[in-house]
């Protein structure tokens, strides 16, 4: 084990201790609170840590196991964006070399305040599986002539998928409460949550500043197949999201389809 790895692990332990001290500093016992605060400040001075360093330790990222050898389609990107927004995260398009696949792949990455990024990843992959199957079935109906389209079956399927995401996005927004009952474990008034979300964005910006992130290319507007859009909206409306997000990051998000 390298010295750098040892230092990183030691730093993690120090930050955990600082957080523990800061939690004790909220104690109603003034002596206990003052002692804990002094200990936290002493540790921060000793290891030259700032408040931002401690807060940034709460930010984490997770990468989806789902990937494309080429650029992810627009509906896939839109799905990751919709999920990230619903769970107060940000999502990145990441292209990297995969040793197991022996090629460059692109996949979605979610950055959030733990455990939000893990919840978003779970929701994204579960919805992606459902949408991939729904799109495949729609493409089959276009090929068989059940549904008519001026586009190829694959393109019509893409238009179907985009509409599906738009419909499910509204369900995701309704799934996450805006006030007291926040599934991510944060409480307070609507104004409190707005302040927390603004703070989260500032942390994300600080976190991403250390990463090599390229701006996404803007896509040109396209005319979508109306029939495919209608079919996508109808299919998306049948997706029923049941939230059962447990405290402490043990999330369960049931995704079912109404028959």
pLDDT number for residue 181? 46
CB of 210 closer than 8 Å to CB of 62 = no
CB of 95 closer than 8 Å to CB of 74 = no
Quickly tell me which residue has 């926040």 as its tokens. 182
pLDDT number for residue 103? 84
Cα separation of 123 and 34, whole Å?
42
H-state helical runs in 25-152 = 30-46, 51-56, 74-86, 116-144
pLDDT number for residue 187? 47
pLDDT number for residue 157? 96
- For the chain, residues with pLDDT lower than 50 are 1-6, 179-196, 243-252, 258-259
pLDDT number for residue 214? 52
pTM for this predicted structure: 0.66
Rounded to a whole number of angstroms, the CA Rg of the chain reads: 22
CB of 58 closer than 8 Å to CB of 114 = yes
Q: Which two tokens stand for residue 191?
A: 């104004």
Segment holding 152, helix H or strand E: none
pLDDT number for residue 210? 57
């Amino acid at each position: 084990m390298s010295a750098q790895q040892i230092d990183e692990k030691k730093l993690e332990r120090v930050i955990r201790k600082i957080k523990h001290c800061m939690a004790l500093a909220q104690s109603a016992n003034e002596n206990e609170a003052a002692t804990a605060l002094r200990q936290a400040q002493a540790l921060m001075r000793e290891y030259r840590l700032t408040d931002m360093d401690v807060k940034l330790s709460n930010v984490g990222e997770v990468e989806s196991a789902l990937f494309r050898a080429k650029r992810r389609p627009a509906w896939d990107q839109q799905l990751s964006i919709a999920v990230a927004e619903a769970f107060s995260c940000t999502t990145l398009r990441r292209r990297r070399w995969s040793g197991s696949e022996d090629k460059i792949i692109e996949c979605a990455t979610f950055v959030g305040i733990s455990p939000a990024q893990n919840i978003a990843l779970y929701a994204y992959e579960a919805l992606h599986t459902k949408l991939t199957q729904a799109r495949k079935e729609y493409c089959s109906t276009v090929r068989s002539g059940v549904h008519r389209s001026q586009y190829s079956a694959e393109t019509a399927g893409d238009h179907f998928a985009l509409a599906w995401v738009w419909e499910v996005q509204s369900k995701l927004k309704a799934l996450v409460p805006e006030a007291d009952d926040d599934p991510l474990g944060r409480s307070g008034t609507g104004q409190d949550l707005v302040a927390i979300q603004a703070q989260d964005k500032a942390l994300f910006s600080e976190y991403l500043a250390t990463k090599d992130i390229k701006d996404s290319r803007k896509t040109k507007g396209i005319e979508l197949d109306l029939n495919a859009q209608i079919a996508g909206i109808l299919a998306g409306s049948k997706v029923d999201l049941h939230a059962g997000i447990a405290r402490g990051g043990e999330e369960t998000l049931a995704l079912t389809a109404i028959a």
